[in-house]
Amino acid sequence: MLSILVQRSLHAVLVILVVSVLAFLLTSLVGDPVASILGIQATPEDRAILAERLRLDEPWIVRYLSFLGGAIQGEFGISYSAQRPVGDLLLERIPATMELAFSALILSLAIGIPLGVFAAVYRDSWVSSALMVGSIVGVSLPTFVVGILLIFLFSVHLGWLPSFGRGETVDIGWWSTGLLTWSGLKALIMPALSLAISQVALIARLVRAEMLEVLQTDYVRFARARGLAPRKINLSHALRNTLIPIITVSGIQLGFLVAFAIVAEAVFQWPGLGLLFLQALGNTDLPVIAAFLMLAAFFFSAINIIVDMLYAVADPRLRVKVALGST
C-alpha cells in the first residue's frame, strides 16, 4: 500500500516538475513580459525598474527556481489583463468549477447507475438494447452541442432557465456558493446536465457490464437457490459489489468532468476556472495560462493518486501488480 503511494507520488512530482518547466518557458521565453505589463509607451527607466523587479537579468535557472518556489506558495505574478495577483484570480474561480463538476458527477451517477442496473437485470428486454444503443448516442454527444441544444430548448423557446452565469451566490468564508439560492440552482441545471450526459452513458455501460458479471457469480446463484427475493439479490448482493469499481471510476470521471467543464463554462459563460483560462488564452495572458497549467498538473496528479489508491484498496490483486511495476 505504502509502496504504491510512494511510487505514484514520485510520478506526480515528475509530472508537476515537467509542467512547471513548460509553464516557466512559456512565461519567460515567449514574448516580452515587460512590454506586456507596461505597454509600448513606457520609458526606459520604468522598463529597467520592472525588469529588475521581475528579476529578468538573472540566469534562467535562478528565475526558474524562484518561479517554482512562487508556484508552490500559489504566487504566479500579476495578470496582464486583470492587473491583479493570479493566485487570487484562480482562488475566486475554484468554487464555481468545483460545484459544476461535482453536480455533474452526482447527476451522472444518479441517472447512470439505475439505468445500468435496469439494463443488466432485464438484459433480454428491448428496453435494455435500446439503452445500449442510447448509450452510444450519449457518448457521441459533444458537451457544447448538448449545452447549446439545452439553451435553445429551455432558454430561447421555453424561457424556463437562464442561459448564462451562475445566478446569485452566497459567500461562506472565501467559498462562494450558488447552491443555496434558487437562481443559483436554476443556473446550475443546464451546465451540469450538459456535462453529465456523456458520463451517464459511460456509467450506465460500466454498471451493466459489472452487474452482468456479478450476477453470474456463485454467491448470487446461492442467494437465488436460498429463495431470496430477486429484488433483494439484485440490489443488496449484486449492486453492492458493482459499486466498488464505480467508486474508483468516479475519480476518473471527475477528472474528465473538470476538463470538459472548460467547454461547458464557455457555452454558459459560467464564471469558473475554464472561462478564466479561455479568456487568458484570448488575451495571451501568460501568467494566468502558466498558473492554470500548474493547477491542472497538481489537480490531475492528485486525482490519479486517489484513483490508484482506491483501486488498490478495492482489489487486492492489483497491489501485487502495481508493486511489480507493471501497469
Torsion angle, CA of 288/291/297/302, rounded to 10 degrees? -120
Complex with another protein: residue 158 or 225, whichever CB lies closer: 158
Minimum CB separation from another protein for residue 160, in Å? Answer: 15
Q: CB of residue 167 vs another protein: minimum separation in angstroms?
A: 19
Q: What is the length of the chain?
A: 327
Which residue's CB is nearer to another protein, number 7 or number 241?
A: 7
Shortest distance in whole angstroms from residue 204 CB to another protein:
14
Tell me the longest C-alpha to C-alpha distance in the chain.
Answer: 88
Q: Which residues bind another protein (CB under 8 A)?
A: 11-12, 14-15, 18, 26, 30-31, 133, 136-137, 139-145, 148-149, 151-152, 156, 163, 255-256, 259-260, 262-263, 266-267, 277-278, 281-282, 284, 289, 293, 296-297, 300-301, 304
Looking at the Cβ atoms of 193 and 293, the one nearer to another protein is: 293
Are 203 and 110 in contact, with CB atoms under 8 Å apart? no
In the bound complex, what is the minimum distance in angstroms from residue 192's beta carbon to another protein?
18
Nearer to another protein by Cβ, of 238 and 289: the residue is: 289
Chain center to CA of 208: 24
Please list the alpha-helical segments (H only) found in the chain: 2-29, 33-38, 44-53, 60-72, 86-121, 126-139, 143-150, 182-215, 218-225, 230-232, 240-268, 273-283, 286-314, 316-324
**CA separation (Å) from 105 to 108, 115, 246?**
5, 15, 12
Q: Which one, 136 or 229, has the nearer CB to another protein?
A: 136
Judged by CB, which is closer to another protein: 235, or 252? 252
Smallest gap from Cβ 53 to another protein, in A, equals 24
Q: Are strands 170-172 and 175-177 parallel, antiparallel or unpaired?
A: antiparallel
CB of 206 to another protein, least distance (A): 14
Beta-bridge partners for 177:
170
- Which residue's CB is nearer to another protein, number 151 or number 188? 151
Nearer to another protein, 183 or 283 (CB): 283
> Minimum CB separation from another protein for residue 106, in Å?
19
| Residue carrying C-alpha cell 454467491 | 219
Helix 240-268 / helix 273-283 crossing angle, nearest 10 deg: 40
Question: Closest separation between CB of residue 289 and another protein, Å?
Answer: 6
Nearest Cα residue to 16 out of 303, 301, 277, 305: 301
42 vs 148 by CB, closer to another protein: 148
Measured between alpha carbons, how far is 312 from 216 in angstroms, rounded to an integer?
Answer: 24
What does the DSSP assignment read for 142-195?
Answer: -HHHHHHHHIIIIIIIS--S-SSS----EEETTEEESTTSHHHHHHHHHHHHHH
State the cell numbers at 258.
Answer: 473538470
Question: What minimum distance in Å lies between the beta carbon of 296 and another protein?
Answer: 7
